[in-house]
Amino acid sequence: MCRHLGYVGPPVGVGELVVRGPHSLYAQSWVPTDMRAGGTINADGFGVAWWRRADVGVEGARDAVTRYRNHAPIWTDPAVAEVLGQLESRSVIAAVRSATVGMPVERSACAPFTDEHWAFSHNGVIPDWRTTLVAVLADLNEVFATASRDLDESPSSAMLFDSPAVLLQAESLTDSAALWVLLRGLLRAIAPAGPVTSPDDALQLLVAAVLRHQPGTRLNLLLGNGIQLWATTCWHALSVLVADDYTVLCSEPYDADPRWQSVDDHQLVAATPGHCTITALELPATERVRS
Ligand code: GLN
C-alpha cells in the first residue's frame, strides 16, 4: 500500500497540501487507516510533483511538471516544510510509499513518475510483474496492430512498442516504474483516429490488459497533466472531494469535510477544478467473476 493525493484548482501551497488536515498525506505515512491488507506504514520514501507555469505567449506551451523525491520517510525530511512550503501550483500529485516486498527502496522507485507534462503514481502491486507486463505489452501491440489493419496502414506503423526491451527503460526495478513505461507509451500515442484518443482510453486499456493476465491485481492509479487528474480504483481505497473551485483525490480523506465521497472499486475517475466524473471500468470476465 502506498497513499497518494492529487489536486487541481487555484494555486495552492505545495507543502501545505501535503500536511493539510488532521489526517494529511503526511500523517497517512505512519497512521493510514484503510490499508486493505496491503501493508502497514508508508515509510519507504515519498514524492511530490507540481507544475511550473508555461511561458505566456509561446504557442502550444504547456505547464511543465517538476518533482521532488526522497527514499527516506517523509517525516524525516525538512524539505517538506522548508522547500515545498515555498512553492505554489495549480496542480499537485504526491505519494508516500510502502515498498512491495522484494522491491528496492531507492529514490528512483518513488512516485510520482513523470514524462513531458505527465505525472503518475501507482498504489498497489502487480503479481509476477515482469512476466505480466511483457504479456500486457504484447496485448497493447495487438490492439494497435488491429486498429492499424482496420485503417489499412502498413504493418510497420502498427507497433506501439518496438520490443519488450522497452521495459528496461523503467527508472527502477519495480512494478510501478515498469507500468509507467507502458502507460506513457499509450499517452504518447494519443491521436484522434487511433485506439487511444484520450488519457481515459489509455488507463482503461492498460487496466483491462493487466487484469486479463493477473485478475485481482491492485491497481489504484493516479495521473495528472497539470490541468486534469485521472484515477482508477482496483482493490484499494480512494476518496474524492469536489469543492466549488478545486478537486482533490486522496487514498484517505485528510479531514472531516462532509463533501468527501468514497469511490467504489473498479472505477475510472476524471477530475477538473470543481468537477469530477466517475464511470465504471470495463473489466475482463475473469475480474468480474472475482468481484
Ligand atoms: N508496488 C509499488 C512499489 O513497490 C507500490 C507499492 C504500494 O502501493 N504499496 O512501489
For 107, list phi and psi in degrees, rounded to 5.
-55, -40
Average pLDDT value for the chain: 93
User: What's the pLDDT score for residue 21?
Assistant: 97
Q: Where are the domains of the chain?
A: 3-290
CA of 219 to the centre of ligand 1 (A): 10
Distance between CA atoms of 259 and 234, rounded to whole angstroms?
22
2 is an active site residue: yes
Contact 272, 247 (CB under 8 A): yes
At the fourth CATH level, which superfamily is domain 3-290?
Aminohydrolase, N-terminal nucleophile (Ntn) domain (3.60.20.10)
- Substitution site in 2, 96, 123, 235 for ligand 1 pocket (most atoms within 8 Å of beta carbon): 2
Enumerate residues 6+ apart whose C-beta is below 8 A from 233.
Answer: 220, 263, 264, 265, 266, 267, 269
> Which residue lies with its CA nearest to atom 1 of ligand 1?
125
User: What's the pLDDT score for residue 154?
Assistant: 61
Looking from the CA of residue 220, the nearest atom of ligand 1 is 8
> Using one digit for the tens of pLDDT, what is the confidence trace for 95-140?
999 999 999 999 999 999 999 999 999 999 999 999 999 999 999 9
Looking from the CA of residue 110, the nearest atom of ligand 1 is 10
Residues with CB under 6 A from ligand 1: 1-2, 38-39, 97-100, 103, 109, 122-125, 174-176
Distance between CA atoms of 100 and 44, rounded to whole angstroms?
10
CA of 99 to the centre of ligand 1 (A): 5
202-207 mean pLDDT: 98
Buried-state track 101-135, b at ≥16 Cβ within 10 A, e below 16: eebeebeebbbbbbeebbbbbbbbbbeebeebbeb
> Using one digit for the tens of pLDDT, what is the confidence trace for 30-84?
988 876 766 789 999 999 999 988 766 676 677 899 999 999 999 999 999 999 9
Given the C-alpha cell 505527465, which residue does it identify? 118
> Which residue lies with its CA nearest to atom 9 of ligand 1?
1
* pTM for the structure as a whole: 0.95
> Which residue lies with its CA nearest to atom 7 of ligand 1?
1
Of the residues 2, 234, 250, 276, only one is catalytic, namely 2
Looking from the CA of residue 236, the nearest atom of ligand 1 is 8
214-227 mean pLDDT: 96
Looking from the CA of residue 218, the nearest atom of ligand 1 is 8
Longest alpha-carbon distance in the chain: 57
